[in-house]
Structure formats: structure tokens, C-alpha cells
Amino acid sequence: MFGFLKKKKNESVESNNEIYAIATGNLIPIDKVSDPVFSQKMMGDGYAVIPESGEIFSPVKGKVLSVFQTKHAVGLRMANGLEVLLHMGIDTVELKGSPFDVKVSEGNTVDSTTLIAKVNLEEIKAAGKSADMVVVLTNMDAVKSFELEKNGAVTAGEAVGTATAE
């Protein structure tokens, strides 16, 4: 009798499987990231964007789970339950938050138009660090499929792939 409610719920989850470009720049598959922790998919599958500017947007529609104390990373959860780590730069934890102006807090609802942080890319590069902005699906045991559909030049907020939950 109430099957129509279940259908709407499933449609809602299905429509929230998109992954978005977090910045305007050059998108690369995660296996091309210079840090082996990411490139060998030790933390999960994903992608990175080498940004043209320091405006970094949410890679998914969902909620902010955590903002790391050093501001270099933000944890997010999609409505379908998949967890995403947005890691800003390589080895940037050592910079103790200096180049990052995080604009979100735990519990905030986000989508592809939500500015997560403004990042001083020049400060990252001056410290000898890579400014690759990495997006990782961290609970791979819950991932049914992950497909990266774009590569190369992307615009912030552009759909670049999908991640579906089991």
C-alpha cells in the first residue's frame, strides 16, 4: 500500500550518486597522484584536481562529518552512506592549517556549489608541497561502483563521475 514512498526514497538516493569537480583545473585519476598512499588506493578510490585557483567546492551532495584540526582535510557523507575525504594538497598536514580558510563546519549540508575552503596555493607551493586536491571514497566496502567519467580540464561543480552504494 505504501510502496510509492519507497520508490521516492530510492529515486532520491539514486539521484545523489554524482561526484563533482572540486575546482576548476586538471582532473587526474587517483593512481596518478604523487603520494603513494593515494595513488596505490590505500585509503580508497577517487580522483584529484590540480586547481587553477584556491576556491575548493564540495565533491558531493551530503553532510560534513569532520573538519580536520589542521584544516587540510574535510570528511563528508553522501546521502547514500558513502564517505568521502577531501584532502587539500599533499603532505599539507605539516603546514598546520596556515594556507586553508575552511568555510564549512561539522553538520553542514553541502552540494557542488558549496565553497568548502579558500586555499592559498602559492603558500602550499612555496612550502615545497603539491597542491593536488584529492577526493577519496574511504568506505570502499560499501561502494557498489565508482566510475570516473571525466579526465583533463574540468570546471568546478561539473559532474565528473558516480559512486553508488551497495
- pLDDT per residue over 103-119, tens digit each? 999 999 999 999 999 99
Report the alpha-carbon distance of residue 70 to residue 17 in Å, rounded: 29
* Mean of the per-residue pLDDT values of the chain: 92
Domains delineated in the chain: 3-165 (2.70.70.10)
Judged against a pLDDT cut of 60, whether residue 149 lies above it is answered with yes
Vertex 30: Cα angle to 135 and 63 (nearest 5): 15
Report the C-alpha gap between 36 and 59 in whole angstroms. 22
State how far the Cα of 95 lies from the Cα of 156, in Å rounded to an integer.
25
Query: What does the pLDDT read at residue 67?
Result: 97
**79 close to 12: Cβ distance less than 8 angstroms:** yes
Question: Annotated active-site positions, please?
Answer: 87
Percent of the chain residues topping a pLDDT of 70: 91
User: 38-62: per-residue pLDDT in tens?
Assistant: 999 999 999 999 999 999 999 999 9
CA 27 to chain centre: 12
pLDDT of residue 16: 81
Distance in angstroms (rounded) separating the CA atoms of residues 18 and 63: 14
The amino acid that residue 154 corresponds to is: V
pLDDT digits (tens, 9 = 90+) for 1-19: 444 444 344 444 344 899 9
Count the alpha carbons within 13 Å of 62 in the hemisphere toward its beta carbon: 29
Strands 25-29 and 152-154: antiparallel
Mean pLDDT value across residues 132-154: 97
